[in-house]
Amino acid sequence: MDVVIWSRIQFAMTAAYHWLFVPLTLGLALVMAVMETLYVVKKDEFWKKTAQFWMKLFAVNFAVGIATGIILEFEFGTNWSNYSWFVGDMFGAPLAIEGILAFFMEATFFAVMFFGWNKVSKKFHLASTWLTGIGATISAYWILVANGWMQNPVGTTFNPDTVRSEMASATAFWEVVSNPVAVSKFFHSVTSGWLTGGIFVVGVSAWYLLRKRHVEFARKSILIGSIVGLVGAGAVMLSGDSSGVHAAEFQPMKLAAAEGLEDGGEGVAFTIVPGIKVPHMLSLLATHDWNGYVPGINDILRGYTDSDGNVVPSVADKMAMGRSALDALATYRANRDSDPELAAAAKQVLEANVQYMGYGHLEKPEDVVPPVGVVFWAFRLMVGLGMLLALVMLLSLIGVWKDKLGKWNWLLWAAIICIPLVYICGQAGWIVAEVGRQPWTIQGLLPVNVAISSLSAGAVKTTFFVFLAVFALFLAIEIRIMIRAIRKGPEVEPENA
């Protein structure tokens, strides 16, 4: 268990660190593309210099994000080799497409965007800027296809001869690509990046206004940043709604943990904080039905009948069927050459119970319950901060529109404080998504204790602290470079403007 725990800690640390850079990359890509579009359309050098400033910060963030992403993908092979073996045929496909298509696309056009000023035409450079952002967005999609499959494994079948989960046809591939969980996660993650980029731009610009530097640059940057941030906030709310519906359908335990719901039923209330509830709201959010049935933790453990009349077995029954599947798999593999009839009978048992195979690795039913307190409060932190960030974006837009920002110092300080808050909000969202689905690496098929590599706990601990030190160094360097660039400011107007 030490190996399992330390492997999870290391991967969580790497993933959380990587997510510090991805949303800002997605958000700044849109901001600077809009600014450069204004430059090309209006033929105003001000917008060119403005776009170049944000592009400089984008480049620093982009470079560090690439390094952490590569490490993250390598950890699937080093720390989670059993997982990689089990899903390699499926999981490798979207990551390969991401690397070959999306990453090379964004990297190629990034070079033109960053180094091509005055070397290519305005329109070609503008196209390169947009394509860099589009490439980063496409890259996110293929990664989230892989992650979405882990949450809702569709389009694959278990092959007892190879002991792998495989895609059997091109149709299965498109089923994986169009997985509703992946689509929801994509829109939720990308638009949260727009919110992050908007907050970052508004917060940095607010600092200039407080110091009465680059006033016109700051005002116009706040205008663009607040619009991008507001659009992102609205889209995050819409995609969050679909994510909740999908959690209720495919991962009811995650939803129950996020709500701290022990016993479910029809017309279930939503808990804002303990002691304060909104009647029927959870049923409406989870099922889009005022009186929809939502199972609680205890319902899932002992089995229940859903709104459509489908009987969901208890976890104990799923564990029994999972062990039957594992026993049948062992019998099939031991006798497929020597006793075809016995192997065929075992294969039938396996196929009848394969959907619960992962449960056969669990020790007790309560193992399927994630850390409820962590998921419950992470969800409320995510939602509460998200609403606060949207409000600050709205007030920033109103302030710049009515030319009130010079008098609203409290709002400028709030915008600066929102920069770390938007990162906390994003991390809380991923805690809900990933901690909420424990103990599974693949929902229902493969728990974390079976997915790890054959490593010693000491080896994982050593690499954890090495990565921690390297990541901390990278983060410190990036922050220092960014602060230096921000202090220097854009080259768009005199200091006393």
23-66 residue pLDDT tens: 999 999 999 999 999 999 999 999 999 999 999 999 999 888 88
Percent of the chain with pLDDT over 90: 77
Span 370-382, average pLDDT: 97
Strand partners, 305: 311
pLDDT given at position 454: 87
Confidence of residue 167 (pLDDT cuts 50, 70, 90): confident
Assess whether 383 and 353 both reside in one domain: no
pLDDT digits (tens, 9 = 90+) for 323-334: 999 999 999 999
Asked, for residue 257, whether it belongs to a domain, the answer is no
Asked if residue 68 lies in contact with residue 83, where contact means CB atoms within 8 angstroms, the answer is: no
Assess whether 237 and 271 both reside in one domain: no
Assess whether 131 and 32 both reside in one domain: yes
Assess whether 321 and 428 both reside in one domain: no
Confidence of residue 496 (pLDDT cuts 50, 70, 90): very low
Asked, for residue 259, whether it belongs to a domain, the answer is no
Assess whether 51 and 197 both reside in one domain: yes
pLDDT of 22 strictly over 50: yes
Asked if residue 71 lies in contact with residue 14, where contact means CB atoms within 8 angstroms, the answer is: yes
Which among 119, 113, 115, 147 has a CA at the least distance from the CA of 132? 113
Asked, for residue 210, whether it belongs to a domain, the answer is yes
3-state secondary structure of 366: helix
Torsion, Cα of 324, 173, 235, 423 (10° steps): 70
Confidence of residue 497 (pLDDT cuts 50, 70, 90): very low
Query: Which one is predicted more confidently, 1 or 180?
Result: 180
pLDDT given at position 108: 85
Summarize the chain as % helix, strand, coil (round to 5).
Answer: 75, 5, 20
Asked if residue 455 lies in contact with residue 8, where contact means CB atoms within 8 angstroms, the answer is: no
pLDDT given at position 253: 96
pLDDT digits (tens, 9 = 90+) for 208-248: 999 999 999 999 999 999 999 999 999 999 999 999 999 99
pLDDT of 495 strictly over 90: no
Assess whether 336 and 287 both reside in one domain: yes
Q: Crossing angle for the helix pair 315-335 and 340-353, nearest 10 degrees?
A: 160
Assess whether 318 and 416 both reside in one domain: no
Assess whether 357 and 381 both reside in one domain: no
Confidence of residue 369 (pLDDT cuts 50, 70, 90): very high
Span 179-186, average pLDDT: 95
Assess whether 14 and 67 both reside in one domain: yes
Domain end point (choices 297, 329, 361): 361
> Is 179 buried (19+), middle (13-18) or exposed (0-12) by CB count in 10 A?
buried
User: What's this model's pTM, rounded to 2 decimal places?
Assistant: 0.92
pLDDT given at position 59: 92
Domain end point (choices 361, 388, 422): 361
Assess whether 307 and 455 both reside in one domain: no
Q: For residue 118, is it left (φ>0), alpha (ψ between -120 and 50) or beta?
A: left
Asked if residue 446 lies in contact with residue 358, where contact means CB atoms within 8 angstroms, the answer is: yes
**Which residue matches tokens 């992946």?**
182
Assess whether 310 and 456 both reside in one domain: no
pLDDT given at position 493: 59
**Which residue matches tokens 């606060």?**
388
Residue 215: both structure tokens together:
């006033």
Span 154-176, average pLDDT: 88
Interstrand relation of 293-294 and 265-266 (parallel, antiparallel or unpaired):
antiparallel
**Which residue matches tokens 């929902």?**
443
For residues 102-122, one letter each, b for 16 or more C-beta atoms within 10 angstroms of the residue's C-beta and e for the rest, the string is bbebbeebbebbbebeeeeee
d(CA 373, CA 431): 12
pLDDT of 100 strictly over 90: no
Specify the number of domains making up the chain. Answer: 2
Assess whether 183 and 122 both reside in one domain: yes
Residue 164: both structure tokens together:
């792998």
Q: CA Rg, the chain, in Å?
A: 25
Q: How many residues does the chain have?
A: 497
Domain end point (choices 335, 361, 387): 361
Percent of the chain with pLDDT over 70: 99
Which among 78, 87, 108 has a CA at the least distance from the CA of 154? 87
d(CA 427, CA 434): 10
Asked, for residue 260, whether it belongs to a domain, the answer is no
Residues 25, 22, 138: CA angle, nearest 5 degrees: 80
End-to-end CA distance of the chain: 61
482 Cβ contact list (under 8 Å, min separation 6): 57, 60, 61
Span 420-434, average pLDDT: 96
pLDDT digits (tens, 9 = 90+) for 273-304: 998 999 999 999 999 999 999 999 999 999 99
Which among 190, 185, 90 has a CA at the least distance from the CA of 138? 190
pLDDT digits (tens, 9 = 90+) for 396-423: 999 999 988 888 999 999 999 999 999 9
Confidence of residue 99 (pLDDT cuts 50, 70, 90): confident
Mean pLDDT of the chain: 92
Q: Crossing angle for the helix pair 180-210 and 372-401, nearest 10 degrees?
A: 50
Asked, for residue 229, whether it belongs to a domain, the answer is yes
| Residue 261, number of CB atoms within 10 A of its CB | 26
What is the sign of the dihedral through the CA atoms of 168, 171, 174 and 176? negative
d(CA 122, CA 116): 10
Asked if residue 49 lies in contact with residue 490, where contact means CB atoms within 8 angstroms, the answer is: yes
| Owning domain of residue 91 | 2-249+373-488
pLDDT digits (tens, 9 = 90+) for 66-98: 877 888 888 888 889 999 889 877 888 888 888
Asked, for residue 258, whether it belongs to a domain, the answer is no
What's the half-sphere exposure (Cβ side, CA atoms, 13 Å) at 451? 26
In 176-325, beta strands by DSSP E: 265-266, 270-273, 276-278, 293-294, 304-305, 311-312
pLDDT of 254 strictly over 70: yes
